[in-house]
Amino acid sequence: MSGKRYTEEFKIAAVKQVTERGHAAHEVADRLGVSIHSMYSWIKRYSVPDEERIAADAQADEVRRLKAELKRVTDERDILKKAAAYFAKLSG
C-alpha cells in the first residue's frame, strides 16, 4: 500500500468521470495515477446519495467505537479474573 491520500473532492471528481461522463474506470484510474481497486471502491462509495453515505459512515463509526469498547471491557474482565484467582490462592 502506497499510503497516498486523496481528498474527498478528488475522489468525487474521479467517480463523476466514470458515472456521469461515461469514461471507463480503468482509463480514469490510469490517467489519474490511482489503482483500479481504489477507483472501484470510490465508485461504490460515492455513487450513492450523500444521505446514504453519511448514514453508512455514521454506522461504521459506531461499530468501530463499540468494538473498541468491547475490547477494553473484555481486557478489564480478564484482568479481574486473574486478580480474583490470585487472591483466591493467597487466602486459600
Does pTM surpass 0.95?
Answer: no
pLDDT tens sequence across 27-45:
999 999 999 999 999 999 9
pLDDT tens sequence across 20-31:
999 999 999 999
C-alpha closest to that of 43 among 88, 73, 13: 13
In the chain, the domains with their CATH numbers are 1-47 (1.10.10)
**Three-state SS string across the chain, please?**
CCCCCCCHHHHHHHHHHHHCCCCCHHHHHHHHCCCHHHHHHHHHHHCCCHHHHHHHHHHHHHHHHHHHHHHHHHHHHHHHHHHHHHHHHHHC
